[in-house]
Structure 1
Amino acid sequence: MATETKTGLDQVTKDIIKSTVPVLREHGTDITKRFYERLFETHPELKNVFNQTNQRKGDQPKALANTVYAAALHIDQLEEILPVVKQIAEKHRSLNIKAEHYPIVGENLLLAMKEVLGDAATDEILQAWERAYGVIADVFISVEKEMYEEVENKPGGWVDFRDFEVVRKEKESDVITSFYLRPADGGEVASYQPGQYITVKAEMENEPYNQLRQYSLSWAPGNDMYRISVKREDPMGEFPAGKVSTYLHEKVEEGSILPISAPAGDFVLDQLDERPLVLISGGVGLTPMMSMLETVIDKQPEREVIYIHASRNERVHAMKARVQEITEEHANVTAYTVYDEPADPIACDKTGHLDRAWLEEVLPTNQAAFYFCGPKGFMRACYQYLKQLNVADNDIHYEVFGPSEDITAS
C-alpha cells in the first residue's frame, strides 16, 4: 500500500495536540468509555457492529484510548503509527466500517472529551482535536478504501457479508467445535494467508442486535471452503456465557447459513523465511497456528518446525491427533504439549505452565521466527520469555484475542 500520512496540520495545532498527551494518558479510558456510551445512545444501530462483550469488559474503550493517545504522541509523524492503523483498518474492513461512520465517531469523541475534561477542554483544544481527527480519519479511510478494493477485485472476493452454508460440524474437544463453510451461492472462495480470520454475523432470535465475531481460519488456504474452530465461552465470574459461541455450538447445524466477511488480518506467516519456525499456542489460540502448520508442511516441507501447545488438560485440547499425525509423517516437525491439570501426567510433555527454563531446554535456537497466540496472560508470559531468551523484536509475531492490548510491559 502506498498510503501517505502527511498531516496537513499547522504547527500551532500540532503543539496543542501534543500538550494534551499527559491528559490523555491519565483520562483517556474515561473519555473513550463515555464516547461509547454516547455513541450507542445516539446511534444504537451501531451495536450491530461493536462487540458488546468487549464493551462490558472494558477492552474496547481501553483499545481506543491507546490509539488516540498514540495519535496525539505521534501527531508530527503519523507514519509512526501506520502499522497500528493498518492492523485496525483490517478489523474495520472485516466489520464493514465505512467512510460515513467516521464523522459520527468524531462528533461523539469530541463531546466525550468535553464532558470528561470539563473546563480543561477549552475551545482551542477541541478545535485542534477536530482538525487532527479529520486528518487521522482520512488516513484510516484511505487505507481502508485500498483494502476494500483489493478484496473485491481478487478471485472469489467480496465486500460486505456473503452467505455461507455450514456443510460440516465437527466436535474437536469438550469446548471446541469446527465449522466447515462453503459459499451458499456456489461460487469460489477468496484465498487467504495462514493466520487470517473471518467475521461471522450471528443473526439470533430474540436478540435486538446482530452480533459480529472474528474467528481465525484453522486450516491451510487452498480448499474450496473455510474452516473455523470455535471455543464455547462458558460463564466465568461476573461475565455470562458468550452469546455467539453458545449460539454456534447449540443452534447452528449442518445446513445452517452464516453471513461472513472476506478473510482479513495482518498476523500472517512469512513464507519467504526459511529459518526454523516456532509456533506457540494457548487454548483456542491454536486456530491460526494450525493454519500456519498445515501451510508450512505443504509449501516449505524442509523447514524445521517446533509446535508447542498449552491447555488446561487433554479433554479441552483440540486437534491433538492431527498434530501427532503431522509429526509422524514429517520428520522436520516436532510437537510438545503442556497441560496445567492433566488427567494423565504422561499425556503431556510438561505439567503446569510454560516457563523460560523449559522453553530454553526444548528450543534449538533463538534465531528463528516465533509466532504465538492465546489468552492475554499467556501472551504476556510468552513475550517476556522470548525477550529473556534474546529473541529479536522483528522475529516475535503475535495476535491478541479481542481488541489489541499492550502485552509487552514487564
Structure 2
Amino acid sequence: MSTKYDIVKQEIQSRILDGTYQPHQKISSESELMKQFGVSRHTVRAAIGELVNKGWLYREQGAGTFCADRSLDNRSSSGVTQRNIAIITTFISDYIFPSIIRGAESFLSQHGYNVSLFSTNNDHENEKRILEKILTEPFDGVIIEPTKSAISNPNIGYYLNMEHQNIPYIMIHAYYEELEPLSITMNDEKGGYVQAEHLIQLGHTNIVGFFKTDDLQGVKRMKGFIKAHRHYGVTINPNGIVTYDSSDKVNKPIQTFMKLLDQGVKPTAIVCYNDELAISMLEVLREKNIRVPEDFSMVGFDDSLIGRLTAVKLTTIQHPQSKMGETAAKMIVDLIKEKNNQPKKTNNKVQSIIFEPSLIVRNSTKILEGKTVTTK
C-alpha cells in the first residue's frame, strides 16, 4: 500500500510526465500541495526533496520550486543509444498479436536491440502507467498500438512529452488523429467494403455487420460496409449494424446475433469485425443448427490461424501480421538513426505506410440459393 509520501511524489511525477507541469514552470506551493493531498508540510517537503535530488525538480531561492527540463538528461544529450525498444500493444498473447510481435522482435534482435513488451489490455489507465515507465527509463524508441483509438484519449500529454524528450515513436493498426503520428495501418475502410461487397455479389441483401467501435479499425470497417451497400444499391436492414466496445465484446455481439436469428426475417450473412468474433458467431450458428455456408455465409477479418483451423475455413481479409511487425521495427530503427544522424539504408524520409486488403475466399461463403453473382 502506497504511503502518503509516495502518493505525493508519484502525483507530482505524473503531472510532469503528462505535461501539466512544463519545463521551468513553477509547481504548486507547499501549502497548496498540503491542502490537495491532506498531508503535513513535512511529507510534502520530503517528496519534493527527493524529486529535486533525482533531477525532476529544482529550487530557486526565494522564488519556489520548478519543473526541470528532462529533455536535457543524459539520454538525449549524450548521443549514445541504449538500444532499447518498447513495444506496447493492447494485448500480447491473444489472437494475431503474437505474430505481429514476433515479426518486430526478430528484426530488432538481429540488429542488436533489446525489446520490452507491454500490454495495456485496451485500458487507458494501464496505458498511462506504461507511458510513465517509458518516459522515465532509457528507451530509444517505441512501437505503439493505440488504446481505444476511436475515442478521446486522456494520455495525449504523455505522447507530447515523448516528442519533447525526442523519443521516436510510431503507431500500428491505428493512430490518435490529433497527434498525426507516423503509423503503419491497414486500409480498414476498404477492407470493410470488400467484406460486404463479396457477400452482396453472392446475392445476399440482408447482411448484418458487427463492429467494435472504440477502436478506429472498427469505425473504418463499418464505414466501408455502408459504402459497399450504397454502391450496389442495397438497403441496410435497420438492425443490420451492431456496434460494441472492448468491455462488452464477449457478451453483446453473441446476444444480439441470437436475437437477430430468432426474428421473422433472418439475415443470410454476416460481416465480422475480426476472425475471433466470426468463430464465436460460428458457434452460435451451430447451436441453432444453421449450416455454414449452406444456410448462412460469413466473412471475417485478419486471416488469423484460428480462422484456418476451424472445421469451416473462414473467408476473410488478409492481414500482414508478421510483415506489419517487421515493417514497424525497420521504421523505428530508421527514426532512431535519423535522430542520431546515423546513415540509413536509403536516404528517403520515413513515412507512414498503409497495407491494402485482399479477400481470401474459403468455404464460409457461397452464392445465395436462387441468386446469380452480381458485379458492378
What range describes the TM-score normalised by the shorter chain of this pair? Answer: under 0.3
Specify which structure has the bigger relative contact order, considering alpha-carbon pairs within 8 angstroms and separated by 6 or more residues.
Answer: 2
Which protein is richer in helix relative to its size? 1
Find the structure with the greater CA-based Rg: 2
